């Protein structure tokens, strides 16, 4: 049992490092793509989705909190609050939807859209102005596109993870074990 817990903690650390590396890579790539402000590829969300599907909600929430804390330390309080708001709302919506008969693609798209909505709502609170919600249509469309990208990204890396020996098999949603995951 102890060995299993140690492996879970180690994998959590690796996933956190990977999420940070992907976030950094995204910050380099995004300006080159000429995307509008606030639109991001969501590469690190692939890591959170992996954790949600294959490690359980606790590990996925831990990753969201760690990512937001890192943003707080590196980009400031407002960015940290926006990251936390978007990440927690997104993950919560995906976990609720995970109990329904929806595809991983729909799950990812909804997670992306709600991440953007969570950040918009948080920005409205910070700015004390609902005008920020006028940006919602743009971020909703980008959420649809980026959510699809995230779903495909996870789908693309699963074979490589499987070859490396990582868990890539979802459990039957009706079993007790699946209540831990997704």
In a domain, 177, yes or no: no
In a domain, 181, yes or no: no
Is residue 178, in this structure, part of any structural domain at all?
no
Inside any domain, residue 174: no
Burial class (CB in 10 A: 0-12, 13-18, 19+), 171: middle
Average pLDDT over residues 63-81: 94
CA distance 111 to 4: 29
Supply the pLDDT for residue 173. Answer: 44
Residue 172's pLDDT band (boundaries 50, 70, 90)? Answer: very low
Can you tell me which residue has the tokens 């049992």?
1
In a domain, 158, yes or no: yes
What CATH number should be reported for the domain holding residue 153?
1.10.1760.20
Compute the residue count for the chain.
Answer: 182
Contact criterion met (CB below 8 Å) for 26 and 44: yes
Judged on CB neighbours under 10 Å (0-12, 13-18, 19+), 91 is buried
Q: Residue 109's pLDDT is what?
A: 93
Average pLDDT on 162-169 reads 74
Task: Give the DSSP letter of residue 41.
Answer: -
Domain that holds residue 85: 10-167
Predicted pLDDT at 95 = 95
Query: Does any domain span residue 118?
Result: yes
Asked if 49 contacts 108 with a C-beta cutoff of 8 angstroms, the reply is yes
Nearest to 139 by CA among 33, 39, 61: 39
Note the pLDDT tens digit of each residue in 123-162. 999 998 888 888 889 989 999 999 998 888 888 888 887 7
pLDDT surpassing 60 at residue 85: yes
Q: Which of 51, 49, 114 is nearest to 86 (CA)?
A: 114
Structural domain contains residue 175: no
For the cut 50, the answer to whether the pLDDT of residue 99 exceeds it is yes
**Residue 137 belongs to some domain of the structure:** yes
Contacts of 2 (CB under 8 A, 6+ apart): none
Q: How many domains does the chain have?
A: 1
Using CA atoms, how far apart are residues 66 and 162, in angstroms rounded to an integer?
25
């Amino acid at each position: 049992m102890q060995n299993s817990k140690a492996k879970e903690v180690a994998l959590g650390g690796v996933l956190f490092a990977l999420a940070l590396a992907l976030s950094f890579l995204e910050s380099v790539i995004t300006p080159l793509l000429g995307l509008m402000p606030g639109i991001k590829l969501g590469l690190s969300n692939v890591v959170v989705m992996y954790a949600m599907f294959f490690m359980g909600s606790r590990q996925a929430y831990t990753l969201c909190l760690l990512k937001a804390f890192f943003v707080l330390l590196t980009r400031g309080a407002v960015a940290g609050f926006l990251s936390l708001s978007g990440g927690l709302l997104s993950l919560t919506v995906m976990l609720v939807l995970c109990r329904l008969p929806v595809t991983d693609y729909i799950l990812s798209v909804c997670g992306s859209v709600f991440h953007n909505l969570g950040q918009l709502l948080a920005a409205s609170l910070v700015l004390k102005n609902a005008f920020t919600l006028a940006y919602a249509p743009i971020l909703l469309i980008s959420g649809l596109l980026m959510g699809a990208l995230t779903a495909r990204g996870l789908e693309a890396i699963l074979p490589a993870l499987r070859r490396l020996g990582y868990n890539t098999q979802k459990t039957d949603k009706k079993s007790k074990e699946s209540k831990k995951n997704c």
